[in-house]
Amino acid sequence: MKRVSEKEKEIERSLMQLAQSTTVRPGRIKWLITNMKGCKTLYLIGILGTFIYNGMQLTVPYFSSRIIDDFLTGESAVNNMALHRDIFYALIAAMIGFTILRVLIVYFDCMIYEVVSQKVLYRVRNILYDKIQRQDMVFYNTYRTGDLMTRVTGDLDAVRHMLAWVIRMIFEAFSLVSATAIYYMYMNVKLALCILAVGPLLFGVIVLFNKKIAPMHALLREKLAEMNTVAQENISGNRVVKAFAREIYEIERFDECNKDYRDTNIKTANTWLDFYPYVEFTANLLRVILLLAGGLFLIKGELTMGEFVAFSGLTWAIANPMRQLGNIMNEFQRFAAASDKVMDIYYSKAHIRDKENAISNDSRLKGRVEFRDVSFQYEDGNLPVLKHISFTAEPGQTIAIMGETGCGKTSLIHLIPRFYEATGGEILIDGVNVEDYKLKYLRENIGLATQEVLLYSDSIDGNIAYGDSSIKREQVVRFARYASADDFIAKMPEGYETIVGERGVGLSGGQKQRISLARALAVRPSILILDDTTSAVDLETEKHIQQSLKELDFECTKIIIAQRISTTKEADQILIMQHGEITERGTHEELIKKGGYYADLVNLQMGGEAV
Ligand code: GTP
Ligand code: MG
């Protein structure tokens, strides 16, 4: 059984503060920097390391140019070799020493980038998960699970890659090119300027490429999310696929998305190919300039042979970063598209959240529920779902809600724990508007068994104790008894330790409903809301549940949605809803006397025997 530890609670508290403090959405890089909390200095050391090891690349051409000029060519070469052989060896040793040192720096530098990027990834992933957890129903209706999964996996990895590789490559290119430029200038200003004249040409290529590639990456990211959504929906809804023998259709549908994603990937990769010839041309131009201008300066005696070799030996330090540009720009744009998606969630705020000074205390609510002229319409809907609903449930009373499918019953009860906000009127609990309570406090006082039962991949015990992980096994068993679930659980091979699969696979509909009822009762709520919770339970068991609900060892107001008269007839008040309005209300006897919808229902279900 999984129980929430103190440490987990502590993590929860700090994450909550964090999530609430993040409000204004900054630029992408600034956002990255804010998430480097605690490792900014280390990252700066990493960048410094990049500059150092790239600067050190110049040592090899420097030493080789000295060796060539002083010991291999030139008039005094033979003399120097005879008299200063020690310097010759020292230069070679320095060349090897610097190379080894450089390799070591590269090794530790890469490690720094990796560590920092993983730390940032960990932090952002936790914040994202935290944000997603705290969102309201509107958010879940808006975002598809596959898309959200893409954000916390693929998109987040693009963010990590930015820190671990792209930024390093940018600094590497920058430091290599600038160090080479400085060294070129130091050797021969004129030749350096001739070579660096290719700069503006290259800049033009970058600007054009960037313009073309940015939308491609945004599209690529959408295609990936689309493919993940199809896969996720199919895997979780596989039983429906099987029931309708639609495997081939679904495989083809996935194949379409997969192809689409592949083609977009190829198209994105090929975009660089359009620009590559220009880059390659510019890179080769470097060599031509060097040969022409360098040769000329050499003949004129303005350049030594050693310097010419050093110039030539370093052209790669300018040409290579140029060739890497496509890769870097690609990855940068991938980061841009992905980070936008990640930041959407990072900076999202639930519409339904605690007011300032919201009410919360240790005492239990009494459970008086009052709807005062409540109206409601879904944000994405264009018709009112609830119209002028008014009723009161006194503490301990049972209110039954009946009505044909789609009349608004579930929508009504979802307003009590503030899953949605009423668009008109007020919902009061113990005389206080639900909006004035802290959400946590309000929801802790409500036990809800939803219409669609969702159990976790956990033991039955863990599922029942989900709302209150502190309760002991005896209590879990007691609540299971109230819900008439103990019998079948005890018969299972591992009893309460039996692991139920995702969504409660391995249990019947009625068994799942009973576990869900036990879970709702286990929080000892002040208000118990049951949405069609016993619809799949046989009549005998249902009778037993009805009896147990009357004998609970704590007081609670019960709001029960049901279709069966047998479930509702003993309620203190029965509300009949039609098209979002309460059209009849009263006790079983009163409603039968009225001779309306309820009386018809009684006739239909009981053949008039209860009349
Ligand atoms: P049953 O559970 O079938 O008995 O129906 P119900 O009485 O619980 O109906 P519910 O409250 O679920 O729905 C009432 C109306 O709201 C229906 O017309 C639904 O189509 C609509 N509705 C439910 N959920 C949503 C939603 O998330 N968005 C929008 N726009 N409409 C919704
Ligand atoms: Mg419903």
pLDDT given for residue 500 in this prediction: 86
- Banded model confidence at residue 477, pLDDT cuts 50, 70, 90: very high
Residue ranges covered by each domain of the chain = 6-346, 355-445+570-611
Q: How far is the CA of 561 from the centre of ligand 2 (A)?
A: 8
Q: Which of 56-60, 386-390, 526-530 has the lowest mean pLDDT?
A: 56-60
Q: What is the pLDDT of residues 463-476, one digit of tens each?
A: 999 988 888 999 99
- From 137, 138, 375, 407, the mutation candidate for ligand 1 (largest count of ligand atoms within 8 A of CB) is 407
pLDDT given for residue 70 in this prediction: 84
User: Is any atom of ligand 1 closer than 6 Å to the C-beta of 385?
Assistant: yes
The pTM assigned to this predicted structure is 0.79
Ligand 1 atom 24, closest CA = 411
- Owner of token pair 């519409």: 351
Note the helical H segments in 84-198: 85-134, 137-142, 145-150, 156-161, 167-187, 189-196
User: Is any atom of ligand 1 closer than 6 Å to the C-beta of 409?
Assistant: yes
pLDDT at 505 over 70: no
Phi/psi for 462 (5° steps) reads: -60, -35
Eight-class DSSP state of 519: H
pLDDT at 16 over 60: no
In this structure, the chain runs to a length of 611
User: Is any atom of ligand 1 closer than 6 Å to the C-beta of 27?
Assistant: no
For 406, the token pair is 């789609």
pLDDT given for residue 2 in this prediction: 45
| DSSP character string of 50-98 | HHHHHHGGGHHHHHHHHIIIIIISSTTHHHHHHH-HHHHHHHHHHHHHH
- Owner of token pair 């990834």: 121
Q: How far is the CA of 583 from the centre of ligand 1 (A)?
A: 18
pLDDT given for residue 19 in this prediction: 53
Task: Work out the mean pLDDT of the chain and round it to a whole number.
Answer: 88
User: Is any atom of ligand 1 closer than 6 Å to the C-beta of 410?
Assistant: yes
pLDDT given for residue 105 in this prediction: 96
pLDDT given for residue 574 in this prediction: 94
- Banded model confidence at residue 425, pLDDT cuts 50, 70, 90: very high
Q: What is the pLDDT of residues 426-476, one digit of tens each?
A: 999 999 999 999 999 999 999 999 888 888 888 899 999 998 888 899 999
Q: Which of 120-129, 204-213, 515-524 has the lowest mean pLDDT?
A: 204-213
pLDDT given for residue 192 in this prediction: 93
User: Is any atom of ligand 1 closer than 6 Å to the C-beta of 407?
Assistant: yes
Region 527-550: mean pLDDT is 88
- Banded model confidence at residue 1, pLDDT cuts 50, 70, 90: very low
As beta bridge partners, residue 359 has 437
* Fold of the 355-445+570-611 domain: Rossmann fold (3.40.50)
pLDDT given for residue 12 in this prediction: 55
Which comes out higher in pLDDT, residue 382 or 109?
109
Q: Fold match between 6-346 and 355-445+570-611?
A: no
Pairing type for strands 573-578 and 581-586 reads: antiparallel
Q: What is the pLDDT of residues 152-208, one digit of tens each?
A: 999 999 999 999 999 999 999 999 898 889 989 998 999 999 998 888 888 888 888
Task: Give me the percent of the chain exceeding a pLDDT of 70.
Answer: 95
Region 580-608: mean pLDDT is 88
pLDDT given for residue 4 in this prediction: 52
Region 43-71: mean pLDDT is 88
pLDDT given for residue 5 in this prediction: 60
**Which 3-state string (H, E, C) describes 369-392?**
EEEEEEEECCCCCCCCCEEEEEEE
Q: Which ligand neighbours the alpha carbon of 140 most closely?
A: 1
Report the alpha-carbon distance of residue 83 to residue 460 in Å, rounded: 88
Task: Give me the percent of the chain exceeding a pLDDT of 90.
Answer: 47
Q: How far is the CA of 580 from the centre of ligand 1 (A)?
A: 10
Q: Which of 42-46, 76-80, 253-257, 380-384 has the lowest mean pLDDT?
A: 76-80
Q: Which of 29-33, 89-93, 325-329, 575-579 has the lowest mean pLDDT?
A: 325-329
Assigned CATH class of 6-346 = mainly alpha
Q: How far is the CA of 407 from the centre of ligand 2 (A)?
A: 8
